[in-house]
A and B are shown apart, each in its own frame.
Chain A
Amino acid sequence: MTRECIMVIAALIVISCSTTKKIEAIRSSGVKPEIAVSDGFDKETETRIMTSEYSDTLTVTGLDGERLNLMKTVTDSAGNTYAHESLDGVVVTARFKNIAERGGKIDLSFNITIPKSLQDPSWQLRFTPRMKILEDTIDLECIYVTGNEYHLSQKRGYDLYSRFLSSIITDSTLLRYSHLIEIFSKRNLSETSEISLQEILNHYRKSGKISLNNHRQSKSEKMYKKMVRNPYTTDIIRLDTVLATSSDIVYCYTQTIRAKANLKKVDVAIRGGVYKDGERLYMIPDSKPITFYISSVSSFAEDITRYVKQVVERRVQANTQAYIDFEQGRSVINPLLYENEHELWRISENIASFLNNDTYDIDSLIITASCSPEGNYLLNKQLAYERAISIRDYFKEYARRYADSLNRTNNSTITIDLERGRDNGEKIPRIVPDFSFKIKSIAENWEKLKDMVANDSLVKEKERILAIIDDDIPYDRKEYLLRQCDDYEYIRSVLYPYLRSVRFDFHLHRKGMVKDTIHTTTVDKVYTSGVLALKEREYKKALDILKPYKDINTAIAYLSLDYNASAKAILEGLEESAKRDYMLALVHARTGDEQRAVQFYLNSIGKDPAMRFRGNLDPEISALSKKYNINGYIN
């Protein structure tokens, strides 16, 4: 008995020793996953160019103006150049890569290699790529590589738990003596029986089983924790694979990120850990990082300032209507009638705001008072005139008092000064100019009545009424005929009050302006915001703003969104420059016209030799360069 015990204990020690030994071996050897740039996404562009059906020889004009034949070439390790044959199957561990931003997005792709010595059937490896963008460090989605035993032990926990769950009876018919219930119900249950079905069901329960079931259900939470010691992860992970072979594992990881302004490079490194039974055994040190250098067409954007012409007029007009009611036949203003108080206050506020105004001065105020057609025409005429005068006096008094109070606070007297210059930030004392009140009066506002009747859907005899109004007869006669219509009550009660209105026309001029019009140029803020959006990599927004301008920035916006034809149209209209030639080369490379692409590329290098370095950054141009060995030619 004891011998068996000792052997078992010894075996356990050996097993745990072997695990610790392995961890020690890994730690001392410093084995860790490798990260390398993959031929992932841009392979598309490169492959397209490398294997295009285009002829292997292009004829272009070189930098010195001579005719040049370029052939598709390949360079071997010794530096010798031969005519084309494509190479395959070479794995290169490069530490950096140039990628281009397209349409506001950047596609990163890299290979993660997990060496064989890190793998073990009872372990789970977890790797997280860490991305460094500007100042932020972002963890991308994890990759889990699980050993077979690890996975099985996880599964075992879940199996145990599911077996436990299945032991909980959910079918309530199993918890009753159904046979007995049936017999009893047949014998004794009817509409007139004292016993109800519920009582029968309650009586014939298997209470032992029920209580056991309830006990199990209440324990299920605890049992889950006990049985499933290593639950499956609920985080969002990129990959969770179970090891099938024992060799190095290579996984191609791709991630698309949004381009940001000033984002020129992205560093990616891997960090990971070895886990056993859900606990971390060993933290793998971070791998060496790789760098993606990001090139964007928007770096060509130019800070151009555009100006817009504006015409500013000296004279301005404003008007408002007020409905001031008067007692029948009277022309005295009674603030207590209807809405008079509110209307008078409103007009007073308007006057005050123009008096106390930074931008405008009042030239004159024209008050037009009108009456409704009720009553004798000549009497109405007199009444309208008197009412206009009454209103004018009221507001004139108000304006005077207001001006006085302003002047008192500003300690200056009223003067008229039309030659005053513009306010350039100093505190100038308020000068309230005197202005004229003019009055007009309309005895009976038939025009307005005609408009209102024409647009009113509740008036039934529209044509008849309009005919009466249009008719060339004395006004009093018109009124008499109107009173015969059925709609008269409606017109009198609803429409007439609107005819007793007073109209205020304010004639203003801009303070400090002497000329009638001034033409100014202001910075076109819209264009500036468009260029800013371009720099911030918000291409759709930039294009919407910049579309009407049709200049180089618009072309850049089109290029970034891959609208090559539109970009070409604009670029061809611009004056020649290195930038413009380079962008045309891009356009042609994208549309497959390799002849023109290479031609424009060479032209742009001719104008600005630095463009060849730019050419290495854009995948379309760098593929062309490689294919025709343009760099070799330049050297």
Chain B
Amino acid sequence: MSTKIRTTLLILAFLLLSAALYGKGNNNVAIGSNLMGYLNFATFNGDLGIGISRHWSIHLNGKYNPFNWHTANQYLQNKQLSFACGARYWNWYQFSGWYWGGKVRYCIYNSGGIISPRTEEGDALGGSLEFGYQLLLSRHINMEFGAGIWGGWKKYRHYDAPRCGKFIGQGEKFFIAPDNISISVIYNF
């Protein structure tokens, strides 16, 4: 089976599971979006969380940034496409209060021109740990404040300019980077 079909099937399975679990009593299903992400050069992101018990929930996360940005003398981009899935442990109850979480993330990225013209393009696979707090605002809406850090293995290529740059070098290495500074709005069904 092709990767595309496999991925699609996985996502479908995930959605079916979420629907089933939603029907099961008191488990919440929530979707959210990180506002800080949009500050990060307009990275669209979304998070689907499904509560599976009082203290646990599983999450599916996606980010997408196809944009180039150019001002008068600068050209920059921070493109990425990433998927992550993980679980969270809630101290008190799912989708309220403090949580600890772990994810596995796969990210395809191309970023450059922000600090220097040198552009890095590659894909990374790693795991992240995160920690945060969700505040109940109303029956359906939460506000999340969190932070995460991830590390893993990346395969990269360097270019000297964000656009039409010359190939400088490539490699594979281990990395650690902040994953998420999140101020999100979550909607619980």
Contact = CB atoms under 8 A, between A and B. Distances in A.
A455 B92 CA distance: 88
Interface string A174-194: 000000100110111010111
Interface in A445-460: none
A180 to B, nearest CB: 6
Contact of A188 (B93, B137, B138, B140): B93
A190 B96 CA distance: 16
B54 A187 contact: no
A187 B28 CA distance: 9
Contact of A184 (B25, B136, B140): B136
Contacts of B28: 187-188
A628 B25 CA distance: 108
A180 B93 contact: no
Contacts of A183: 136-139
A226 interface: no
Contacts of B92: 203
A414 B26 CA distance: 113
Contacts of A190: 25-26
Interface in B23-73: 25-26, 28, 54
Contacts of A192: 25-26
Main secondary structure of the interface of A (DSSP, over half): helix
B136 A180 contact: yes
B139 A194 contact: no
A183 B28 CA distance: 14
Contacts of B188: 187
Interface in B157-189: 188
Nearest to B24: A192
A195 interface: yes
Interface string B10-33: 000000000000000110100000
A183 to B, nearest CB: 5
Contacts of A187: 28, 96, 136, 139-140, 188
Contacts of B93: 184, 188, 195
Main secondary structure of the interface of B (DSSP, over half): loop
Contact of A193 (B26, B96, B138, B139): B26
Interface string B138-151: 11100000000000
Interface string B111-140: 000000000000000000000000011111
Contacts of B137: 183
Q: Which of A184, A188, A190, A195 has the most CB of B within 10 A?
A: A188
Contacts of A188: 26, 28, 93, 96
Contacts of B25: 190, 192-193
Interface residues of B, number: 13
Interface string B90-116: 001100100000000000000000000
A589 B96 CA distance: 96
A478 B140 CA distance: 107
Nearest to A188: B26
B178 to A, nearest CB: 30
B136 A195 contact: no
A82 to B, nearest CB: 100
Contacts of A195: 54, 93
Interface string A191-224: 0111100000001000000000000000000000
A193 B96 CA distance: 15
A194 B54 contact: yes
A197 to B, nearest CB: 13
A190 B92 CA distance: 17
A303 B173 CA distance: 133
A96 B188 CA distance: 95
Contacts of A194: 26, 54
Contacts of B96: 184, 187-188
A193 B140 CA distance: 18
Contacts of A193: 25-26
A184 B94 CA distance: 11
Contacts of A184: 93, 96, 136
Nearest to A203: B92
Q: Which of B136, B137, B138, B140 has the most CB of A within 10 A?
A: B136
A623 B105 CA distance: 118
A176 B101 CA distance: 28
A374 to B, nearest CB: 92
A194 B93 CA distance: 10
B8 to A, nearest CB: 32
Q: Which of A183, A192, A194, A195 has the most CB of B within 10 A?
A: A183
Contacts of B140: 187
Q: Which of A180, A187, A192, A195 has the most CB of B within 10 A?
A: A187
A203 B28 CA distance: 20
A394 to B, nearest CB: 98
Contacts of A186: 139
A203 B97 CA distance: 11
Contacts of B54: 194-195
Interface of B: 25-26, 28, 54, 92-93, 96, 136-140, 188
In order of increasing CB-CB distance, the 6 nearest A-B pairs are A183-B136, A193-B26, A186-B139, A192-B25, A194-B54, A180-B136
28 contacts: A180-B136, A183-B136, A183-B137, A183-B138, A183-B139, A184-B93, A184-B96, A184-B136, A186-B139, A187-B28, A187-B96, A187-B139, A187-B140, A187-B188, A188-B26, A188-B28, A188-B93, A188-B96, A190-B25, A190-B26, A192-B25, A192-B26, A193-B25, A194-B26, A194-B54, A195-B54, A195-B93, A203-B92
Given A183-B139, A188-B93, A192-B26, 5 more contacts: A183-B137, A184-B96, A186-B139, A187-B188, A192-B25
